[in-house]
């Protein structure tokens, strides 16, 4: 059985926390309702507020919506669209199954999403 998103986050935290110059830090947050975009929106906003309190710029935070529910993604994207300095990304697997699911052991590349494009009428 594949690990949950939370288990993946914990593994990344254990593997990388403090390993890069300046000490990479992980702050794992949990939602009560993964199908409530408003909850995700406010949680993501609170992450940016906490980063600001730690004297980090918004550019030092990346919101990755890989593996989230549709509602989580909507809330995260809305929270990131508030400022041009807030980056959102997802991880794109190098190889996927016919059903579009990442193959076991596939590498992945972060894909940055531009949330501040100009609408064309």
11-25, 55-69, 88-102: segment of lowest average pLDDT: 11-25
- Is the pLDDT higher at 121 or at 49? 49
Number of domains in the chain: 2
Q: Is residue 119 part of a domain?
A: no
Q: Residues 18, 65: one domain?
A: no
For residue 93, tell me if it sits in a domain. Answer: yes
Q: Compute the average pLDDT of residues 112-121.
A: 79
Same domain as 48, residue 19:
no
Say if residue 22 is in the same domain as residue 64. no
> Do 36 and 87 fall within a single domain?
yes
User: Is 70 exceeded by the pLDDT of residue 120?
Assistant: no
Which pLDDT score is estimated for 47? 94
Residues 42 and 18 in one domain: no
Q: Is 35 found in the same domain as 25?
A: no
Domain membership of residue 121 (yes or no) is no
Helix H, strand E, coil C: the string for the chain is CCCCHHHHHHHHHHHHCCCCCCCCCCCCCCCCCCCCHHHHHHHHHHHHHHHHHCCCCHHHCEEECCCCCHHHHHHHHHHHCCCCCCEEEEEEECCECCCCCECCCCCEEEEEECCCCCCCC
- 50 shares its domain with 91: yes
**Pairing label, strands 108-113, 87-93:** antiparallel
Residue 120 in domain: no
**Digit-coded pLDDT (tens) for 70-85:** 999 999 999 999 999 9
Are residues 45 and 101 located together in one domain of the fold?
yes
Range of the domain at 88: 31-113
pLDDT of 43 higher than 90: yes
pLDDT at position 22 is: 61
Q: Give residue for tokens 């989580």.
A: 72
Residues 89 and 44 in one domain: yes
Both 57 and 9 in one domain: the answer is no
Q: For the residues 15-28, what does the mean pLDDT come to?
A: 73
């Amino acid at each position: 059985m594949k690990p949950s998103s939370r288990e993946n986050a914990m593994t990344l935290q254990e593997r990388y926390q403090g390993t890069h110059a300046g000490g990479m830090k992980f702050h794992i947050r949990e939602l009560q309702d993964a199908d409530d975009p408003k909850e995700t929106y406010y949680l993501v906003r609170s992450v940016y507020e906490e980063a600001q309190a730690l004297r980090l710029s918004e550019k030092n935070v990346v919101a990755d919506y890989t593996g989230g529910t549709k509602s989580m993604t909507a809330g995260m994207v809305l929270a990131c669209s508030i400022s041009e300095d807030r980056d959102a990304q997802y991880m794109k697997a190098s190889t996927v199954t016919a059903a579009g699911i990442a193959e076991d052991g596939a590498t992945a590349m972060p894909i940055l999403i531009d949330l501040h494009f100009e609408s064309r009428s």
